[in-house]
Amino acid sequence: MMKRFILVIIMMISTLGVYSFTNSTLDAKKTSYASYYHDKFNGRKTASGEIFSNSKFTAANRTLPFGTNVRVTNLNNGKQVIVKINDRGPFHASRALDISKAAFDEIGDIRRGTIPVEYEIVD
C-alpha cells in the first residue's frame, strides 16, 4: 500500500512539472530575425489553406499553430505589429518569422531584407 502511495505522489509531481514547463516556454518572449514575403507569393495558397496577400498582417512560423496571434517588436526601433500565423516557414535557420510586406513595412524599412525582432504569443 505504501509503495502505491509513493508511486502516485511521484506521478503527480512529474505531471505537474511537465505542465508548468510547457506553459512557460510557450508564453515566453523569443528573439530572432524576421524577413518578409516576396510579391510573387501573392495569390498562392499558404500551408493553412488561406490565400496569401502581402497587404494582410500575417506570418509564417515553423511550429506555432495556425491562427495564433503574435506580437512582433522590431528591436531596432521598438515598433510593434500583431500578425496571425497562417503559413509554415521560414526555411532559413537564422530566422523565426516570415511576415507579410504590410506588417514588415509597419515596423521596419522594406529596403532591408531582415530585422531583429522579439515575438510573443498574444490572446
CATH number of the domain encompassing residue 113: 2.40.40.10
Could you list the residue range(s) of the whole structural domain that residue 78 is in? 29-121
Whether residue 15 lies inside any domain: the answer is no
Q: What is the pLDDT of residue 75?
A: 98
Count of structural domains, the chain: 1
Q: What is the pLDDT of residue 21?
A: 47
% of the chain exceeding 90 in pLDDT: 75
Q: Which residues of the chain have pLDDT under 50?
A: 19-24
Instruction: State the greatest distance between any 2 C-alpha atoms of the chain, in Å, as a whole number.
Output: 70
